[in-house]
Structure 1
Amino acid sequence: PNLTLAHWKKNTDRVFSLFSLPSFLLSPFSEELHFRMTHHRINTSYFNGGSASIFVFLLLLTTTCSAPIRGLDTFLTNQFRLDPKASNDSFGSLSSSLKRSLSSASSSLHFSSLSQSLLSLSVSVSLNVRFVGDSFPSSAATTFSSFISAAVTGDNFHVISPPPDSPTDHRLAVSHSLHLDASLSPPSLSSRLDTSLKSSIAGSTSSLRSQLLSVPYGSIDEIIRQEYEKEKHGDGGVYVYLISLGPQSKPYAYSYSHGDSSAGFTKCLGSIWTGKERYLWIDLSAGPVDYGPALSGDGVLPRGEFHPLAAFHGRPKSEKALLADLASLVYNAYQVLFVPSLRVPVYFEDSLVVQLIHIHGSETKDPSGLDFEFVKRTFMEEANNGGLLLGEQKLSFKSFSVNYRECPICSFAVSRGMNSYTSRFLFDNYTLIVSEYLDSKHMHRTLTESAEELRRAAGIHEEEDEFARVLPVYVFDLDINTPLLIDRYHQSVAFRDMVIAVRTRGTQTVSDYTCNGRHVFVHTRDLERPLVGSILQSMWGVSSTHLTWSPRHNTTLVDYTWSVGQTPFGPFSDISSLSFVQKDAAKRNILLTSLNTTIASAVDIIDSAVAYGGDVNLLKQNRHSEFMQRWNLLKYKIEKSVSALSHNDFEMALFYLRSASHDLYSMHSVVYLASQEVEASLICFKDPPFPWGSVSVFGLGLMALGYVYSKRDRLFRSKRKQF
Structure 2
Amino acid sequence: MKDHLRQFVTSVPAGKDYLGHMSDAQRTAWSHDLGYSINETLTALSEARVPITVDVKLVGFAGDGNEALHIADHELQMFLRTLHKQLETVALHPSPAHMTLKPEIVFRVQPAYYELSGKVAAAINQAINTGQPSSTYTSYPLHLVPYGEVDKLLQEDFGHGDGSYTIYLLNPPAHAPYAYSYQPPGSNQNESCPGSLWVSDKRYAWFDLTANLTFYGPGPGGKGQVFAHSTPILKHYKAQDVHRAITPDLAALVWSACQHLVWPPLHHGKLSYNPKLEVHLVYMVEALQRPAPGNGRVDVAALQQQLQAVGQPLGQQVTVLEHFVMFSTCDHCVAAYSGCLCACAAFRGRLQQLQAVGQPLGQQVTVLEHFVMFSTCDHCVAAYSGCLQHGERLLQQQLQAVGQPLGQQVTVLEHFVMFSTCDHCVAAYSGALKARTSRAPGAKGSFKLAVSHYLDLPDLERWLAEWREALLSEAGVNWDTEHGGAAILPVFIFDVPSTEPVLLDGLLQAAVLGQEPVLLDGLLQAAVLGQGDVVAVRSAAQPLQTFFGCFDLQMAINPQNIHRPVLAAVMQQAYGIADPALAWSQATGKMWSFIWSVGQNPFGSLGSTASLSFAQKDAALRNMALAYLNSSMHHAAALMRGFEMLAPAGSNGRTHYVKGYLQPEQVLPYNQRISLLLFKVQEAAAALAEGQHALAVGYAVSTTEDVAALHKITRHYKASLKPDLVCMGKPDAVRWWLLPSLCCFITLALVVWRCARGPSDDESDSKPGSRRGSSFGGVHHRAY
| Same-fold call, TM cutoff 0.5 | yes
1:239 to 151, 159, 166: 166
| 595, 600, 624: which one aligns with 1:566 | 600
Contact 1:294 1:519 in 2 (8 A): no
Per-residue CA deviations over 1:435-467 (Å, capped at 9, x if unaligned) read 332222221221111111111221221154564
Task: Compare 138-147 and 381-390 and name the one that shifted more.
Answer: 381-390
Structure 2 residue runs without a partner (length 5+): 313-399, 513-527, 648-656, 727-784
- CA deviations 1:176-235 (Å, max 9, x no partner) are 1111111111221111112222211111112243431011111111111100007x2x2x
Question: Paired residue for 2:416?
Answer: 401
Counterpart residue number, 1:519: 554
Does structure 2 retain, via aligned residues, the 8 Å contact 1:291–1:513? yes
1:88 to 18, 23, 28: 18
CA contact (8 A) 2:218 2:549 kept: yes
Q: Would you say 1:212 and 2:142 are equivalent positions?
A: yes
The question of whether the paired residues in 2 share the 8 Å contact of 1:158 and 1:342 is answered with yes
Residues 310 and 412 from structure 1, CA distance in 2 versus in 1: closer, same or farther, beyond 3 angstroms? Answer: farther
Alignment-derived partner of residue 316 in structure 2: none
Tell me: CA distance 1:671–1:519, structure 2 relative to 1, closer, same or farther (3 Å). Answer: same
Among 478, 481, 506, the alignment partner of 2:499 is: 481
For residue 376 of structure 1, what is the aligned residue in structure 2?
303
The gaps in structure 1 that reach 5 residues or longer are: 1-71, 163-167, 684-723
Q: 1: CA distance between counterparts of 2:28 and 2:304?
A: 52
- Matched with 1:693 is none
Residue 72 of structure 2: which of 133, 140, 146 is its match? 140
The alignment partner of 1:127 has SS state of strand
Secondary structure in structure 2 of the residue aligned to 1:530: helix
Letter in 1 for 2:231: P
Q: 1:676 to 1:339 in 2, by over 3 A?
A: same
Could you tell me how far apart the structure 2 residues matched to 1:261 and 1:616 are? 68
Q: Is structure 2 residue 554 aligned with structure 1 residue 509?
A: no
Aligned to 1:437: 454
- Structure 2 residue aligned with 1:648: 691
Q: 1:363 aligned to 2:324?
A: no
CA offset at residue 521 of structure 1? 1.7
Q: Residues 266-277 of structure 1: matches in 2 within 5 Å?
A: 266-277=191-202
Q: How far is the alpha carbon of 1:254 from its aligned partner?
A: 0.9
Give the AA of the match of 2:179: A
Answer yes or no: is the 8 Å Cα contact 2:193–2:607 preserved in 1.
yes
1:472 alignment partner in structure 2: 490
The aligned counterpart of 2:130 is 203
Which secondary structure does the structure 2 equivalent of 1:115 belong to?
helix
Structure 1 residues 169, 241: closer, same or farther in 2, change over 3 A? closer
Q: Are residues 1:331 and 2:283 paired?
A: no
Shift in Å, 1:96: 8.9
Q: 1:215 is aligned with what amino acid?
A: V
Map of 1:284 onto structure 2: 209
Write the distance in 1 (CA, Å) between the matches of 2:594 and 2:145: 21
Pair 1:578 & 2:602 matched:
no
Distance 1:319 1:388, change over 3 A: farther
- 2:33 alignment partner, SS class: helix
Residues 244-279 of structure 1: CA distance to partner in whole angstroms, max 9, x if unpaired? 112x221111111223576x9454211111111111
Q: 1:483 to 1:75 in 2, by over 3 A?
A: closer
Task: Tell me how far apart the structure 2 counterparts of residues 320 and 437 of structure 1 sit (CA, whole Å).
Answer: 52
- The partner residue of 1:157 within 85, 89, 93 is 89
- Per-residue CA deviations over 1:404-437 (Å, capped at 9, x if unaligned) read 2322222222222223444345758664434332
Q: Is the 8 A contact 2:30 2:675 kept in 1?
A: no
Residue of structure 2 equivalent to 1:253: 179
Correspondence list, 1:522-541, <5 A: 522-541=557-576
Which stretch has the larger CA shift, 520-529 or 669-678? Answer: 669-678
User: Structure 1, residues 141-199: CA drift from partner, whole Å, max 9, x if none?
Assistant: 2222222222242232111114xxxxx45111111111111111122111111222221
Q: Deviations over 1:12-38 (max 9, x none)?
A: xxxxxxxxxxxxxxxxxxxxxxxxxxx
Moved more, 580-589 or 434-443: 434-443
Partners in 2 of 1:328 and 1:161 — Cα distance? 27
What's the counterpart of residue 57 of structure 1? none
Q: 1:477·1:502 contact (CA, 8 Å) conserved in 2?
A: yes
Equivalent of residue 178 in structure 1, options 105, 112, 124: 105
The alpha-carbon deviation at position 669 of structure 1 amounts to: 2.4
Instruction: Quote the residue 2:578 is aligned against.
Output: 543
Hey, what does 1:224 align to over in structure 2? 154
1:497-536 CA-to-partner distances (Å, cap 9, x unmatched) read 1111112221222211111101112211111111111111
| Alpha-carbon distance in structure 2 between the residues aligned to 1:123 and 1:511 | 40
CA-CA distance at 1:542 after TM superposition: 0.8
Residues 286-313 of structure 1 show CA distances to partners (whole Å, capped at 9, x for unaligned) of: 11242112333111112x3x11153454
Deviation at 1:360, TM superposition (A): 1.1
Give, as a single letter, the amino acid of the residue that structure 1 aligns with 2:149. Answer: S
* Change beyond 3 A, Cα 1:158–1:380: closer
The 1:339–1:311 alpha-carbon spacing in structure 2 relative to 1, beyond 3 Å, is farther
Residue 651 of structure 1: CA displacement? 2.7
Q: Decide whether aligned partners of structure 1 residues 468 and 99 sit closer, same or farther in structure 2, where only a CA change above 3 A counts.
A: closer
Report if aligned partners of 1:145, 1:180 keep a CA contact under 8 Å in 2: yes
In 2, distance between residues paired with 1:377 and 1:312? 45
Kept after mapping to 2: 8 A contact 1:409/1:453: yes
Separation in 2, partners of 1:81, 1:120: 26
Correspondence for 1:62: none
Query: What do you get for the CA RMSD once the two structures are aligned?
Result: 2.8
Cα deviation for residue 484 of structure 1 reads: 1.5
Cα distance in 1 for residues equivalent to 2:287 and 2:30: 70
Q: Deviations over 1:364-419 (max 9, x none)?
A: 42441114345436526745786434544221111100012322222222222223
Partner residue, 2:321 = none
Which region of structure 1 is more displaced relative to structure 2, 84-93 or 124-133?
Answer: 84-93
Which stretch shifts more, 434-443 or 124-133?
434-443
Letter in 1 for 2:244: K
Give per-residue Cα distances to partners, 1:475-499, cap 9 Å, x unaligned. 1111322111112221111226111
The separation in 1 between residues aligned to 2:43 and 2:202, in whole angstroms, is: 36
- Distance verdict in 2 for CA 1:665–1:92, change over 3 Å: farther
1:296 matched to 2:221? The reply is yes
Classify the secondary structure of the residue corresponding to 2:268: coil
Alpha-carbon separation, structure 1, partners of 2:541 and 2:110: 52
SS at match of 2:267: coil
Instruction: Note closer, same or farther for the CA distance 1:637–1:678 as it changes in structure 2 (3 Å cut).
Output: same
Give the aligned residue type for 1:141: D
Query: 1:657 and 2:692 equivalent?
Result: no
SS in 1 for 2:278: strand
Q: How many residues are aligned here?
A: 595
- Counterpart contact for 2:191–2:608, Cα < 8 Å: no
**Aligned residue in 2 for 1:700:** none
Measure, in 2, the Cα distance between the counterparts of 1:82 and 1:324. 47
| 1:493 paired to 2:511 | yes
Task: Find 2:682's aligned residue among 622, 630, 639.
Answer: 639
SS at match of 1:159: strand
Residue type of the alignment partner of 2:259: Q
| 8 Å CA contact retained: 1:389, 1:587 | no
Task: Show the counterpart of 1:37.
Answer: none
User: What SS is found at the alignment partner of 1:173?
Assistant: coil
Question: Which protein has the larger Cα radius of gyration, Structure 1 or Structure 2?
Answer: 2
Deviation of the 1:326 alpha carbon = 1.2
Q: Which residue of 1 aligns with 2:431?
A: 416
Contact kept in structure 2, 1:284 and 1:309, CA below 8 Å: yes
Match for 2:673 among 630, 651, 661?
630
